[in-house]
């Protein structure tokens, strides 16, 4: 059994923990959970059959968790503060708050630490798909990568950029473009909403060259992600209409499924398809 530790017991962390607990992730055992908010960890552990150890303080989690792989499902800030320490302690890490990886210094430090310690850094495709095609296409040159993200206005209400440009999310009665620019800026202005811009950038032409459009749309009921790429291979267009996670409307449910699948395919030893 592979021992898994979890940072962040919110929407993604809880669903992932329940999947492990119910045996959906072969060969995985959830041994420790950590959340800054004590009640989040308590509530989650209360719902699990096998009880992992609970931690409310990172250093104690790191020292005592006895995990082999840690899943970060907390925030970009958490990914930046904890990831290198996790790897340097001899554990692999799966990072959900992928936006953190568009910080150039952090990215180069984490790559270096992972190489030195011979550990894996896993970044799920999250709420989007088609990254296998993007990775393949870039070898012959990609001219353009554009990601359009549409979510309901309330999904953006805690983002610093939304707060400074829109009075209230309920004021919007038609779609409004909140941002158009590079992925590097998008993940800073909308830290909890557009992590997929980072996974797409890392698979393709980087955060400076990947164009992101963010639209608050009161007329939709799903999170819509449209990927459009053009290169020597031809053109690709993908549209995903994602149902949102019941306990966090910012998070697309597919993101959790992608975390579960990434964990499963990396510890099961099965044939890996489409990676």
Note the residues at the interface with ligand NAD (CB under 6 A): 7-13, 34-37, 40, 73-78, 96-98, 126-127, 192, 195-196, 199, 248, 251, 255
* C-beta of residue 97 within 8 angstroms of C-beta of residue 74: yes
Active site residue 245: no
Give me the least distance between CB of 250 and ligand NAD, in Å please.
6
Nearer residue to ligand NAD within complex by CB, 54 or 231: 54
Provide φ and ψ at 157, rounded to 5°. Answer: -60, -25
Nearer residue to ligand NAD within complex by CB, 59 or 118: 59
Question: How far apart (Å, rounded) are the C-alpha atoms in residues 19 and 13?
Answer: 10
Nearer residue to ligand NAD within complex by CB, 12 or 183: 12
Residue nearest to ligand NAD (CB): 10
Give me the least distance between CB of 185 and ligand NAD, in Å please.
16
Which residue out of 56, 161, 169, 225 is catalytically annotated?
Answer: 225
Question: How far apart (Å, rounded) are the C-alpha atoms in residues 244 and 232?
Answer: 35
Nearer residue to ligand NAD within complex by CB, 27 or 247: 247
Nearer residue to ligand NAD within complex by CB, 62 or 231: 62
- Give per-residue burial for 250-270: e unless 16+ CB within 10 Å, then b: bbbbbbbbbbbebbbbbbeee
Decide: residue 199, CB within 10 A, 0-12 exposed, 13-18 middle, 19+ buried: buried
Give me the least distance between CB of 230 and ligand NAD, in Å please.
23
Question: How far apart (Å, rounded) are the C-alpha atoms in residues 157 and 140?
Answer: 40
Give me the least distance between CB of 77 and ligand NAD, in Å please.
6
* C-beta of residue 71 within 8 angstroms of C-beta of residue 7: yes
213: β partners: 148, 180
**How crowded is the C-beta side of 63, counted as CA atoms within 13 Å?**
5
Give me the least distance between CB of 259 and ligand NAD, in Å please.
8
CA 64 to chain centre: 25
The residues annotated with a catalytic role in the active site are 225
């Amino acid at each position: 059994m592979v021992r898994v530790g979890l940072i962040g017991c919110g929407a993604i962390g809880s669903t992932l923990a329940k999947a492990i607990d119910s045996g959906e992730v072969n060969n995985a055992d959830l041994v420790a959970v950590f959340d800054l908010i004590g009640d989040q960890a308590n509530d989650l552990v209360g719902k699990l059959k096998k009880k992992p150890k609970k931690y409310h303080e990172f250093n104690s989690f790191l020292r005592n968790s006895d995990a082999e792989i840690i899943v970060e499902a907390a925030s970009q800030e958490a990914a930046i503060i904890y990831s290198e320490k996790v790897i340097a302690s001899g554990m692999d890490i799966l990072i959900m708050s992928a936006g953190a990886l568009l910080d150039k210094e952090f990215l180069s430090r984490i790559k270096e630490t992972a190489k030195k310690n011979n550990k894996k850094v896993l970044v799920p495709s999250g709420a989007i798909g088609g990254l296998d095609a993007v990775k393949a296409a870039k070898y012959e040159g990609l001219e353009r990568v554009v990601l359009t993200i549409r979510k309901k206005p309330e999904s953006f209400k805690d983002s610093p950029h939304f707060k400074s440009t829109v009075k209230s999310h309920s004021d919007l009665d038609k779609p409004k473009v909140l941002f158009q620019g590079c992925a590097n800026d998008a993940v800073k202005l909308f830290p909890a909403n557009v992590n997929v811009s980072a996974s797409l950038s890392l698979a393709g032409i980087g955060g400076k060259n990947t164009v992101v459009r963010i639209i608050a749309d009161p007329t939709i009921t799903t999170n819509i992600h449209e990927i459009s790429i053009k290169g020597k291979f031809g053109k690709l267009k993908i549209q995903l209409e994602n149902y949102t996670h019941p306990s966090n409307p910012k998070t697309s449910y597919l993101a959790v499924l992608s975390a579960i699948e990434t964990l499963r395919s990396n510890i099961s030893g099965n044939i890996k398809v489409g990676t």
